[in-house]
Structure 1
Amino acid sequence: MEKYQKHFLNNFRNKLEEWEAKPEVPHVEVYRFVHSLAGSASTLGLNQIGDVARKLMDSMDEKDDRLLTIPELRTMLFDIIEAYYRLEEGTVTDFKGKQGRDGEEPVILIVDDDTSFLMYMKEELENIGWYVVPIANPEKAVMSYYDVRPDCAIIDIYMKETNGFEVLDFFKQKLKQQFFPTVMVSVDDQKETRMKCYELGADDFIPKPFDLDEFIVRVKRQIDRKRQIEELVLIDELTHVYNRKYLAQGYDQVKSIWNRRKEPSSIAVLDIDHFKKVNDRFGHLAGDNVLAEFGAFLKKNVRVQDTVIRYGGEEFVIIFPNTPVKDAYACLDRCRQDFSSLVFEDAGSCTFSAGITEFTDPSKPIDEWLRLADQALYEAKENGRNRVEIDSKSTDIQHNKTIKVAIVDDDPIIRTVMRDIVSKLPAEKNVKYDIKSFKDGAAFLEAEWHSESPCLVILDGVMPKMDGLEVLERLRKREDSDRYKVLMLTSRSSEKDISRSLQLGADDYMTKPFKLLELEARLGQILKRMR
C-alpha cells in the first residue's frame, strides 16, 4: 500500500508542476483531476485528502467551461494541498517553543563558528521557549544585536575568523550605556583565560563541555539580573516604563536602522491633558494611579519594538523604529480614542494630546527631534487638546514600504503553503508583502524583481540547476546583502547543509517537514524585524 500511496502523491506533485507552467488551466480538467483524487485517495488510505477532494468536487460545476488563472487554481486547490502537506508534517515532533515572539520570552544570541554546537543549542533552548539567533560569523553578531535586541549573548572564545575576546570587547565598548549580559564559553578553562574574560567585562564564563541544565540556570540568572538592573536604573518606578535615561539607547536603535537601511522612524511626545486638575481635585495618589495606568496602557497598545519612556511628570515619549510618521499617527490616534473611553475609579476619565515628528537626519541630536515633536504637541493643545498633531515638516512625507518575499523551492506544495501563510501574516498599515515564487535558484538570482526593496528569501537547500547554498553564497557577496534575510529550508538529515548555511550567513533555518504553526511563527519573527 505504501508504494502506491507514494506513487499517488508523486502524481499529485507532477500535475501541479504541469499546471504551473501554463498561463491558464481549463476548469473541466481541474474537475476531472479532483474527481480522480476523491476516488483514489480514500481507496489508498489517504482519507484526509479524499474527504477534502470530495467536498471540493461537490461544490464544482462539471460543465463549467471557464479558464482558471494560476492564482485562482491555487486558491481552489489550497485545502487539498494543505491536507497533503499535513500528511508529511505528521512525522515531526511538536515545536515546544512559543509560536511567536510576544515580547516576554528571552532572546539569546549565540556566536560560535562550531555549527554543530549552534544547531544543538538552538534546538535545546528553543525547546524551553527561548528564541535563539545562531551566528557563525562573528562580524554579523554586532549587526544582529540591533536587529533582534537580545537579552544575553553566548560567545565562544576561539573562532577561526576572530576570537571571542574581540566580539566581547566590541559589545562592551559600544553598549556602555546599557547592561547587556555576556557569557563566554570555551574548552580552555585555564585561570588566565577566565581572568581575561572577566577583565574585558564578561558576566560569566562556562567551560565546555557543560551540563545543559546548569548552563540554562546560569544564563537565566543573567537574564533575570538584566531585567532587575533595568528596573532599578532604566525603569520608572511609578509607571514601569523606561525613564529618560533610556532615550540615548532608543535613539541608537533608530540610527542603526537608518545607517543600514535608510528606513524612517518616528518619535512622539505625549502629555495628559489638564493633569494638574486631576491632582488638585482628586489628590496626588489618584494622580499617581492615572500615570501608572497610562504607562501600562501605552505599553499594551504599541508594538513590542516601540519604546515607551516617561520623560517627566505627566509627559511621555514614544520612539517608533521602522515607522513612517503617518503610521505612528494612526497608532497614537487609535490609542487616544481608546484611552479617552477609560474611567478611573478615583479620577474619572482623562485624555491626552500628542505631537509627532519623523527622523530625517539621525546625525542630529535627539533634542532636535524632541523639540519638533514638542512643538507639534503645543499645536495639539492650542487646537483644543485630546488630539494628535504631526510636525509640519513631516506632514508631506509619504512612505509606502514594500517587503519582497521570495519563495525559492522546486516543490509546488511548499510554494503554495508558504505563499498562503505569508499572505495571511499581519502587517502594519502602509506595509505590503510582495510575494513571488521561483522553481529554482537561478531564476531567482536572474530576476530584477528583488533588486531594491528589503527581501525575505525562503530558500530550499536542494534544488535543480543551482542549490540553495550557492544562492545564499551569492547573496552574501552582494554589496547590498543586508537587504536580504534568508530562511533556509533543509531536510532533517542534512546537518552538513545546515552547518554550511550558518557559515554563509543564513538568518534562520528550518528542517522539512515542519509544523505549519512553527513555520508561521518563524516567518512572523523575521518579517517583524524587517518592518
Structure 2
Amino acid sequence: MEKYTKHFFNNVRKKLGEWETAGSVPHEEVYRFIHSMAGSASVLGLHKIGDLARELLDQHNEKEERMWTVSEVKEELFEIIQYCYHYEEETIEVFPGKQSRDGEEPVVLIIDDDTSFLMYMKEELEKIGWYVVPIANPDKAIMSYYDVKPDCAIIDIYMDGTNGFEVLDFFKKKLKQQFIPTVMVSAENSKEVRIKSYQMGADDFIAKPFDLEEFIVRVKRQMERKKQMEELVLIDELTMVYNRKYLGQAYAQVQSNSARNGDSYCVAVLDIDHFKGVNDRYGHLVGDRVLKGFASHLKTETRIQDTVFRFGGEEFVILFPNTSLKEAYTFVDIIRKGFSQVVFQGDEDFSCTFSAGVAEIADPTKPFDTWLKLADNALYEAKSSGRNVVKVDGKASEHSPHKTMKIAIVDDDPIIRTVMKDIVSKLPGEPHIQYDIQTFQDGAAFVGSDWHGKHPCLVILDGVMPKMDGLEVLENIRSRSNSDRYKVLMLTSRKSEKDISRSLQLGADDYMTKPFKLLELEARLGQMLKRMR
C-alpha cells in the first residue's frame, strides 16, 4: 500500500507543478482532479483527504464556467495539500530528547573548518535545546559574531588558512565592551597551546576529543557566568534594567547594524513627573517601589528588540531599533497611557505619570550624546507644556516608515512550496517591516530573477533540484558583491552529509535535514529573521 500512497502524492505534486507552469486552470480540470482524489484517497486509507475532497465537490458545479488562478487553486486545496505534507511528516524519526524552540534558547556559535565536527555538535547540542550556528569559514565568522550575538563562542585553534587565535584576537580587540565567553578547542593539547589560549583571553580550553557531557557542563558554566557578570556590571541593582554603562555598547551595535542595513533607529528619554513629591510625601521606600514598578512596566510594554536603561534617578532611556520616529512616538505614547493607570500603595493609593522626548538617530556616525540631547530637548518641551505627554524632536525629518525584507522559497516540490509559503506568511512580524514572499520552482529561476537584488533576503533553499541545485545557487549568492544581504537556510537530505559539508563551506547560515517538523522550521526561520532585523 505504501507504494501506491507514494504514487498518489507524486501525482498531486505533478499536477500542482503543471498548473504553476500554466498560470491558470479551467474549472473542469480542477473539478476532475478533486473528484479523482475523493475516490482514490479513501481506497488507499487516506480518509481525511477523501473526506476533504468530497466536501469540496459538494461546493462546486462540474459545469461551472470559470478559469482559476494558481493562487486560487492552492487556497481552495490548501487543507488537502497541508495534509499531504503532514502524512509524510508522520514518518519522521525525532531525535530522543530533542526540544522544541521558542526563540529564547541559548545561542552557541561554533567556528571550525571540520564540517563533520560541526554537524555532530549541532545535532547533539540542539537535542538539549540550544540554538547552534555552525561556521566553517573563519572569515564569515567575524560578521556572524555581530549578527548572531552568541551566548558563547567555540573556536577551533587550527583551521585551513586561518589560525583560531586570529579570530579570538579579533573578538577580544573589537568587542571589548561585550562579554561573550570564548572556548578554544584543539586536537593539540600541549602546554604551550593551552597557555597561549589563556594569555590571549580565552575563557576555557578543551582538548579534542572530549567527553560531550563534560563539554556541555563547561560551556553552560561559561554562559551562566556571562549572565551573572552582565547582572553585576550592566544591570541597575534597584530596577533590574540596564544601567547607563551599557549605553555605549548598545549604541555601538546600532552603529554596526546601521552601517550594514541602513535601518532607522530612535531614542526616547522618559522622566517620572513630580517624582520628588512622591519621595517627600510617601518616603523613599515607596519611591523605590515606584521606580521598580516603572521599570517593570517599560520592560513589559516594549518589544523584545528594544532596550531599556535607567539613566539616573527617575530618568530612563529606551533605544528603538528598526523604528521610524512616528512609530517610536506611538510606542512611547501607548506606554505613557498604560503607566498612568498603574496604582501604587502609600499612605493612600496613588498613580504617577511620565513625560518623554523622542528623537531619530539620523546619522549613527555622530556621537550618541547628539541624539540624547535632541531627545532631552523634546523632553524639556514636554515638561514645559504641562507634563504627562510625549514630544518629538521638532527638527527631525522622518525616514521611510517601512523596511522591505524579501523571503524566497526555492524548492522543486510544489507541496513544500505551498506549505512553506503559508508558514512564512504567518510568522510574527514588526510594524516597520514588510515581508515580500516569492516562491521559485528551481534554482535557475531564482538566480535569473532581479526581484531579490536590492533588499535583505532570506533564502529557504532546497539542496536537490533540477537545472540548478541548491549548492550551485548558494555558490552564486556568495560570489555576489552584495552577498551579505542574503541569509541562506539550506534544506538537505539526512543522508547527504557531503552536501551539508559543502553548504557550510560555501557559507550557508544554517541548515535543516529533510524531512523535518514544521514547528521546527517555523522556530528556525524566526531565529534567522530576528538576526536580519
Summarize the Cα distance change of 1:266–1:98 in structure 2 as closer, same or farther, 3 Å threshold.
farther
Q: How does 1:270-349 map to 2 (within 5 A)?
A: 270-346=270-346, 348-349=350-351
CA distance in 1, matches of 2:128, 2:334: 36
CA distance in 2, matches of 1:349, 1:464: 66
Q: How does 1:215-254 map to 2 (within 5 A)?
A: 215-254=215-254
CA distance in 1, matches of 2:293, 2:494: 48
CA contact (8 A) 2:153 2:181 kept: yes
User: Which stretches in structure 2 are left out of the alignment for 5+ residues?
Assistant: none
1:443, distance to aligned residue in structure 2 (A):
1.1
1:414 alignment partner in structure 2: 416
Letter in structure 1 aligned against 2:510:
D
CA contact (8 A) 2:322 2:432 kept: no
1:405, distance to aligned residue in structure 2 (A):
0.8
Deviates more, 1:206-215 or 1:323-332: 323-332
CA contact (8 A) 1:257 1:322 kept: no
Runs of 4 or more, structure 1, over 4 Å off, are none
CA distance in 2, matches of 1:185, 1:289: 47
Provide, for residues 113-139 of structure 1, a one-character-per-residue CA deviation record: whole Å limited to 9, x for no partner: 111111111121111111111111111
Q: How does 1:395-406 map to 2 (within 5 A)?
A: 395-406=397-408
CA distance in 1, matches of 2:4, 2:402: 50
Letter in structure 1 aligned against 2:141:
A
Classify the secondary structure of the residue corresponding to 1:322.
coil
CA contact (8 A) 1:100 1:522 kept: no
CA distance in 1, matches of 2:245, 2:460: 39
Residue from 440, 455, 458 that aligns with 1:456: 458
CA contact (8 A) 1:326 1:398 kept: no
TM-score of the two chains, using structure 1 as the length reference: 0.96
1:434 alignment partner in structure 2: 436
User: Which stretches in structure 1 are left out of the alignment for 5+ residues?
Assistant: none
1:417, distance to aligned residue in structure 2 (A):
0.9
Deviates more, 1:413-422 or 1:29-38: 29-38
**Sequence identity, in percent?**
69
1:501, distance to aligned residue in structure 2 (A):
0.8
Classify the secondary structure of the residue corresponding to 2:161.
coil
Classify the secondary structure of the residue corresponding to 1:452.
coil
CA contact (8 A) 2:157 2:163 kept: yes
Residue from 371, 374, 386 that aligns with 1:372: 374
Summarize the Cα distance change of 1:18–1:241 in structure 2 as closer, same or farther, 3 Å threshold.
same
Classify the secondary structure of the residue corresponding to 1:21.
helix
2:32 alignment partner in structure 1: 32
2:509 alignment partner in structure 1: 507
Letter in structure 2 aligned against 1:112:
D
CA distance in 2, matches of 1:271, 1:510: 47
Provide, for residues 209-255 of structure 1, a one-character-per-residue CA deviation record: whole Å limited to 9, x for no partner: 11111111101111111111111111100111111000111011101
RMSD of equivalent CA atoms: 1.6
Classify the secondary structure of the residue corresponding to 2:254.
helix
Q: How does 1:517-528 map to 2 (within 5 A)?
A: 517-528=519-530
Letter in structure 2 aligned against 1:439:
Q
1:94, distance to aligned residue in structure 2 (A):
4.1
CA distance in 1, matches of 2:44, 2:408: 35
CA contact (8 A) 1:266 1:321 kept: yes
CA distance in 2, matches of 1:323, 1:125: 35
Q: How does 1:17-166 map to 2 (within 5 A)?
A: 17-94=17-94, 96-102=98-104, 105-166=105-166
Provide, for residues 381-438 of structure 1, a one-character-per-residue CA deviation record: whole Å limited to 9, x for no partner: 2333222222123343333111111111111011111111111112111311111111
CA contact (8 A) 2:324 2:398 kept: no
Paired residues in the alignment total 529
1:497, distance to aligned residue in structure 2 (A):
0.8
1:351 alignment partner in structure 2: 353
TM-score of the two chains, using structure 2 as the length reference: 0.96
CA distance in 1, matches of 2:333, 2:357: 11
1:329, distance to aligned residue in structure 2 (A):
2.5
Deviates more, 1:398-407 or 1:343-352: 343-352
Classify the secondary structure of the residue corresponding to 2:383.
helix
CA distance in 2, matches of 1:472, 1:65: 44
Deviates more, 1:219-228 or 1:350-359: 350-359
1:169, distance to aligned residue in structure 2 (A):
0.8
CA contact (8 A) 2:407 2:457 kept: yes
Is 1:208 aligned to 2:211, yes or no?
no
Letter in structure 1 aligned against 2:474:
L
CA distance in 2, matches of 1:210, 1:31: 61
1:64, distance to aligned residue in structure 2 (A):
3.4
1:362 alignment partner in structure 2: 364
CA contact (8 A) 2:325 2:398 kept: no
Letter in structure 2 aligned against 1:485:
K
1:530 alignment partner in structure 2: 532
Provide, for residues 455-500 of structure 1, a one-character-per-residue CA deviation record: whole Å limited to 9, x for no partner: 1111111111111111111111111111111111111111111111
